[in-house]
A and B are shown apart, each in its own frame.
Chain A
Amino acid sequence: MIVPRLVAWADERLGTRSFVKHALRKAFPDHWSFMLGESALYALIVLIATGIYLAFAFNPSGERGPYHGPYVPLQGTTVSGAYASVLQISFVLPGGLLFRQVHHWAAVLFVAAILIHMTRVFLTGAFRRPRELNWMVGFSLLLLGLFEGFSGYSMPDDELSGTGLRIGYSIAAATPFIGKWAAAFLTGGAFDSPQTTGRLYALHCILGPALLLGAIALHMLILWRQKHTQFRGPGATEANVIGAPMWPNYAIVSLAFGSLIATLLVALGAFVQINPIWQYGPYHPWQVAAPAQPDWYLGWLDGALRIFPPVEINLAGYHIESALLAGAVVPGIAIGLFLFWPFVERAFTHDGAVHNLLDDPFGVPQRTGIAAATFTFFAVLTFAGSNDIQSYYLHVPVDVLTVAYRVLVFVLPLLAYLATVELLRERTSWPPAENEGSRKTIVRTTSGGFDEKATRS
C-alpha cells in the first residue's frame, strides 16, 4: 500500500515515473565482457564500505609515543599515532583486521579490474568516436585508483610503505624547478615530517574519493547518454542496441556478479594475509624494510627505477637524474600516450567516423599487437620490480637479472607485437579462398589403392 503511494507522491513532484520506467527498460548488450567494468564498480563499493569503518578507528597523527597493545615485540616502542591506530585496528578493534584486509584486497583488485575492463575497451575499439571523452574519464579513474592505492598503502606509517613514500618523495623532489615545492606538498615539509600522514589522510579519504566518485558519475552519465557499444551480430546496427532490458534480466545477473566479488573479497580478507604492518615495524628513515616493493600496480614504476641506467643530464643549469627519468618521464610518456589514445590512433588511421559497433580484436592486428606490446612492457617492468626476490629464490645473481630486464624490456614487447600482428594476419587470410584450384579429389580404386582425380576448379 505504502510503496505505490510513495511512488505516486514522488512522481507528482519530480516526474520520476517516466524516468524510472525508461531506465528499467534500458537495453544492455548481452556479451559477458561488458560485465568486467562492473567488477571494478563493485570492488569500489566494498572499498567505500570498509573504508568508512576503518576511517572511524584510524588516527592520522604523526605524533610519537610508546605503543601499549597486544603485539608483544612492539610493546613500549615509540611509534606514531597512525601506526599505533592501525595496530589497534588489526589486533583490538572487533573485525578490524578483517575489514583492513578486505579493504586492502579490494584496492588491489580494484586496479586489476579497471585494467581488465580497459583492455576490453581498447581491444574492441570502443574508445573511438564518439566515446573519446569517456575513455579519458575512464583513464583518469585508473590514475585516481593508483593514487588512492599509493596514499592508502602509505598511511599506516610502517617501514615498508615509508620506504615507498620516500621514493615517491625523491621522484617529486628530483623534478626540476618545482621539485622542492612538489615534494613539500606531499609530505607537508621536509621528509618524514609528522604532518605527512595527515596530508595523506585528507587526500586518501576526502579528495581522492570525491574525485573518484565524481569521475565515476561522469563515466556512467556519459555511458547512459551515449548508450552502449555492441558487437556485430544479427540485427545489430550502428543505430540500435540489442540486449537484455535492465529490469529484471540484467539487474539480477549484475547483482549475482556483485555478490560474487564481495564474497571473493571477504574470503581473501579472511583467509589470506595482506600487508602485515606489525612485521615491518614503525617507519624510521634510517631503516629499510626488505623485501621492499610497492603494491603490484606500482611495481612497474619500481621496476623502471631499478633497471634504469644511472645517467645524469645537465639541462640549463638543472640536474636531471635517473630517478626522474625512470620515475616521472617514462610513466609520463606512457600515461600521456594512453590518455590521448583515441586521438593518437586517429592520427594514424584517419578514421573519424562514428563507431557504435565494436571491432573484433582478431580483426585489427595492429591495435591488438600494440596492446600485447604494452602489456608485455609493463609486465617486464613489474617483474623487474622484484628482481631481488627472484634472485633469492632462483639463485641467479641480481645483477644478471637487472641486465636481462634491460634487454627484455625492449625485446619482449617488440616480439609480442610482431608475433601478434603476424598471427592475426594469418588468421584473417585463412581458410584460403576456394577458387585457388588447390582442392583435390581422392578416389579409391577397385583394387583398394587411392588415386588422385582431376583437379576441380
Chain B
Amino acid sequence: MTTSLLAIYAGLYFWGVARYEQHTRRRFPQRFIAAECIALVALWVAIVALDAWADASFAAHMIQHVILIAIVAPALVLGAPLRVLLGALPRAQARTLARVLRSRAVSMLTAPPIAWLAFIAVLWGAHYSNLYELALEHPAIHIAEHVAFLASAALFWSHAFPVAPLPARLAPPARALYLFLAGPPTAFLGLSLWSSHGVLYPHYLHVTNPFGLSPLEDQHAGGLVMWASGSVMTLTAVLAVLARWARAERSAIVACAVTFACSCIATPARTNAAIDGKIVYAVHCASCHGADLRGGPDAPSIRGVGAADVDWWVATGRMPAAIPWVQQPRRPLLLSPAEVDAVVTYVVSVAPGGPPIPHVETNGNLQRGRELFAQNCEHCHGADAQGNSIGSDYVAPDLAAATAKQVGEAVRVGVGMMPKFGERQISSNGLNDLATYVDWVHCGRQTPGGIDLSAIGPFGEGAVAWLVVTIGVTGYAWFLGTRMRRANETKEPEPVD
C-alpha cells in the first residue's frame, strides 16, 4: 500500500511540475526535481525495504529513522512541493493558498523556534516514552509516528533551505546557529541510548535479532547510529550553509564573528529583488539626513558624498546612528549587505558625485604596504593598527575588523577626523599594498617572543615588571628572610663581627 501511495504522490508531483511550467512559462529547476526523486526513493527504502528488519532490530529501526529525518525530509523540502502546488493550482486557489501560507497563524506555527521545538519534541517523545513500544505493537501508531517524524523534520529543514515559500526566513548566520542547535539534543538522545545499562524497549527481548546482536548490544548500536548520524547531519548542514553564505558574500565573513550572535533572531523575508534602496533610506536614514539628503539639525547633508562614503558608514555599522554628532564606533550591522548595497545605489542615484567605491585587493606588496602604513597611518592607528586616542575625545579605531574595501574607502574619502588621500598621495596599487599590510597585521603577522603586550607598549611592560618585583622578588625575599630568621632564632645570637 505504501508503494502505491508513493507512486500516486510522485505522479501528482510531476503533474504539478508540468502545470507549473505551463502556468509560469519557466522551467522548474531540475535539481529540485532530482531532490524530490531522491526523497521518494529514500522514503521507499526506509519504510518498505527496511520495515521487516526494523521490527526485529533497534539499530535497523534507528537507521530507518535517520533516513527519514536526515535524507527524506531535507530532500523532500528541496523538491519544493509547495512551490509546485502554488504554481500548479489555478490562480484564484493559488492566491488563497498563498494568503494562508503568509497568514499570521501559519507564520507563528512555522516560526523557527517552533519548528525546532517540534522537531526535538517528536524526536525525544518518540524515544523517551512508551510511544515507541506502542508503535511496535500497533501498525497504525507506527504509521502516525513516521508521519510525525517526516512532518516535523520537513518543517525543521524548511528553515535550512530557503526554497519553501514560508514567511519567516533566517539570515545565513542565524540559519547556521539554528541548525547547530539541533545537534546537542540529537547527540544527547543517541548518547543516552548508547550508554544505557538496561534494555529500554522490552519488545526486542522477544524477537530474534537479524544481526545476531544481544538486545543491549543492538540498543547500543542504535544509539551510536543516532549520535553519529545526527552529528554528521547537523555539522554538514551548518558547513553547507556557511559555505553558501561565504560564496554569496565574501566580505561578510569578516563580520561573521560579530554579527553571528546578534542576528540569530529570525528576520522577516529579505529577498534581494524585494529590496528598494529608497525604502531602506526612508526607514533608516531619512529621519536625520532628510528625504532630500540635505541633512538637518541632527545630520550633515549627504548629497554628492559618493558611494565610498555612504558604503563605509553603513557597512561598518556606524550608520544608522543613535546619537548624532559624536564619533561613531563600529557596530554590528543593522542592515543586511543587500540593503547596504541598495541604499548606497539609491543615495548615489539621487545625488551623484564623490569618490566611487574603490576596488581593493589584499594581494599587494607587503613591504610597500608597511612603509605606507608607517608614513600615513601609524601615528594615529598605532604601530599594530590597534587604535589609539588622537586628542580630545576622538580615537583612531582599531583596524582589526576593517575589510580591504573599507580600508580603501576610508583612505579615499577621509572619513571623520581622518585625512583624505587621493590618487596622488596613494595610488590604487598603493591602496592594495596598504590593505595587504593591514590584513597581514591582523591575520598572518609573525611576532615571536611570547605574550604580546605591544598594543599597550612599554607601559604594559613596566606594569609586568612591577608585578614581578613586588610579588615575586619582594615576596620571595620575605619568605627566605623570615625562614632564615626562624632558623637563627633557635641558636644563640652570633658574636660581633
Contact = CB atoms under 8 A, between A and B. Distances in A.
Interface of A: 25-27, 30-36, 39, 71-77, 90-91, 97, 101, 105, 108-109, 112-113, 116, 159-160, 227, 234-235, 239-245, 249-250, 253, 256-257, 260-261, 264, 268, 270-276, 278-281, 284, 286-297, 299, 382, 385-389, 391-392, 395-400
B371 A77 contact: yes
Contact of B481 (A31, A271, A295): A31
**Chain B binding surface SS class:** helix
A34 B464 CA distance: 24
Given A159-B374, A272-B464, A392 B389 contact: yes
B448 A227 contact: no
Interface in B417-472: 437, 440, 445-454, 456-459, 461-466, 468-470, 472
Given A36-B474, A244-B494, A260-B472, A271 B488 contact: no
B493 A290 contact: no
A392 B447 CA distance: 23
Contacts of B356: none
B383 interface: yes
A77 B458 contact: no
A135 B486 CA distance: 30
Nearest to A271: B450
Q: Which of B447, B448, B485 has the most CB atoms of chain A within a 10 A radius of its CB?
A: B448
Nearest to A34: B481
A97 B389 contact: no
Contacts of A241: 496-497
Contacts of B449: 90, 97, 101, 272-274, 276
Given A32-B478, A227-B497, A289-B379, A264 B473 contact: yes
Contacts, number: 227
Contact of A240 (B384, B465, B485, B496): B496
A425 to B, nearest CB: 27
In the complex, which of the residues A32, A36, A276, A299 has the most CB atoms of chain B within 10 Å of its own CB atom? A32
A313 to B, nearest CB: 26
Given A108-B462, A290-B383, A296-B462, A249 B488 contact: yes
Contact of A297 (B366, B462, B494): B462
A111 to B, nearest CB: 8
Contact of B488 (A244, A288, A290): A244
A71 B379 CA distance: 22
B472 A264 contact: yes
Contacts of B383: 159-160, 279-281, 289-290
A270 B450 contact: yes
A397 B393 contact: yes
A112 B477 contact: no
6 closest cross-chain pairs (CB), A and B: A32-B481, A296-B462, A397-B393, A273-B449, A391-B389, A73-B370
B379 A388 contact: no
Given A253-B484, A398-B391, A273 B369 contact: no
Given A241-B497, A249-B488, A290-B388, A113 B473 contact: yes
